[in-house]
Amino acid sequence: MTPSGFILLDKVAGETSFKALFPLKRVFCTKRVGHAGTLDLRASGLIIAATGRATRLLPYVESKEKCYTFRLHLGYETDTLEWDGDIVEQDRRENPPVSRADLESILPQFMGDILQVPPKYCAVKVDGRRASDLAERGRKFELEPRRIHIESLRIVGEGTLTEGESGRSFATYDLECVCSKGTYVRALGRDLGRALGTFGCVSQIRRHRIGNVSVESAVRGEDLTREHLKSVEQVLDFPVVKLSDDQMAVIRKGNWIPWREAIEGVTLQQGRQDSGEALVFVADGEGAVQAVCRYEPGRLCPRIYLGEE
């Protein structure tokens, strides 16, 4: 049986997220792998991948907030919103009046719940086709704005030119962004530039964190071994509840069990995911997690079974 758990990968720039999974298939001798939160080809950083039954938990990983750093290039905009794309706009002014203080002054308007139009080169579907596929074929289309949440956005340094710039930038800044699922850093760079009365694109996107999991705990694909497999409770911070053999047998059959004990760290207002559920891991007498359950007043209801059939 395929080992079930999570792998923390540090994807290198220039590698697709799909290709980053190849070492998992080789090391664990399975095609049953998946990942949460695709990174752009040019982006680097943390990908949380899963093998076996843990792939069922990837939607919960993907819903976690994420932390990125990126370099903002002010002065031009490209079709891909990356620093080396085809130029679509260039600021022709000799010395545009935009300072670091100006950039800092507009950051608050991008925090909290905002609407963002995705880049045209993205995986969003338009009439069943990927937007990026349509863009590559020169098709004209418009993407609808999507609601996202930016928890924090700050300047962490003044950057330098990135090799391969296709336009002329008059200033570059390195920023850090903590945001929700569905946020496009490239689109954020575009919108920051426009808010400053100029144009913007980005380079050096790197994802540092997903939820409480840091890229510092990740491994490069070429260094991956079976020992890097992490248990589900090491990645998802659901509380763990131990059940008796009889209780676990009921859960395994898809039925709920009575539960009137308090669960530390969970109330009906905590531990919720996008679905509005309060979730817990349930473990057998040896402490091995076997399922995810929904916590309701007076009972635990099976949500996802992870153990052997």
Catalytic residue numbers read 40
Report which of 150, 189, 154 is spatially closest to residue 66, judged by C-alpha positions. Answer: 150
Say if CB 70 and CB 189 are below 8 A apart. yes
Gyration radius of the chain's alpha carbons: 22
Q: Count Cβ atoms within 10 A of the Cβ of residue 18 and give its class: 0-12 exposed, 13-18 middle, 19 or more buried.
A: exposed
Angstrom distance (rounded) from CA 84 to CA 202: 9
Angstrom distance (rounded) from CA 114 to CA 146: 8
Q: How far apart are the first and last CA of the chain?
A: 11
Task: Check residue 23 and report its DSSP letter.
Answer: H
Helix (H, G, I), strand (E, B), or coil: what is residue 108?
helix
Q: Count Cβ atoms within 10 A of the Cβ of residue 270 and give its class: 0-12 exposed, 13-18 middle, 19 or more buried.
A: exposed
Angstrom distance (rounded) from CA 112 to CA 139: 33
**Can you read off the two tokens belonging to residue 46?**
């943390």
